[in-house]
Amino acid sequence: MENSNLTSVTEFILLGLSSQPELQAQLFLLFLMLYLMILLGNLLIVLLILMDSRLHTPMYFFLTNLSSIEVCYTSCVFPQMLIHFLAQRKSISYSCCVIQFYTSLSFGIAECYILSVMAFDRFVAIRDPLRYSVTMSWEICGILAAGSWLGGFMASTVDTVATFQLSFCQDNIINHFVCEMPALLHISCTDTSQAELVMHILCIFTLLCPVTFIILSYAHIIFAVLKIRSAQGRRKAFSTCSSHLLVVTLFFGTVMSLYLKPKSLSSPEYNKIVSVFYVVLTPVLNPLIYSLRNKEVKMALRKLLGKPESA
pLDDT tens per residue across span 189-198: 888 899 999 9
Beta strands in the chain (DSSP E): 11-14, 91-93, 173-174
Distances (CA, A) of 14 to 32, 56, 84, 167, 233: 18, 43, 8, 18, 52
Distance of alpha carbon 262 from its chain centroid, rounded?
Answer: 21
CB 41 within 8 A of CB 282: no
pLDDT value, residue 167: 87
The answer to the question of residue 2 being in a domain is no
**Residues forming a β-bridge with 13:** 91, 173
* Single-letter code of the amino acid located at 129: P
Q: Which of 203, 266, 251, 270 is nearest to 74 (CA)?
A: 251
CB 64 within 8 A of CB 42: no
CATH number, domain with residue 76: 1.20.1070.10
Between CA 140 and CA 244 the distance in angstroms is: 20
pLDDT value, residue 127: 83
Positive or negative torsion for Cα 112, 116, 121, 126? positive
The answer to the question of residue 1 being in a domain is no
Give me the domain span that covers residue 79.
Answer: 10-121+130-304
The answer to the question of residue 310 being in a domain is no
The answer to the question of residue 4 being in a domain is no
pLDDT value, residue 3: 46
CB 282 within 8 A of CB 251: yes
Those residues of the chain that have pLDDT short of 50 are 1-7, 311
Domain total in the chain: 1
Model confidence, pTM: 0.90
Q: Which of 77, 120, 82, 126 is nearest to 100 (CA)?
A: 77
Q: Which of 132, 111, 130 is nearest to 120 (CA)?
A: 132
The answer to the question of residue 3 being in a domain is no
pLDDT value, residue 310: 53
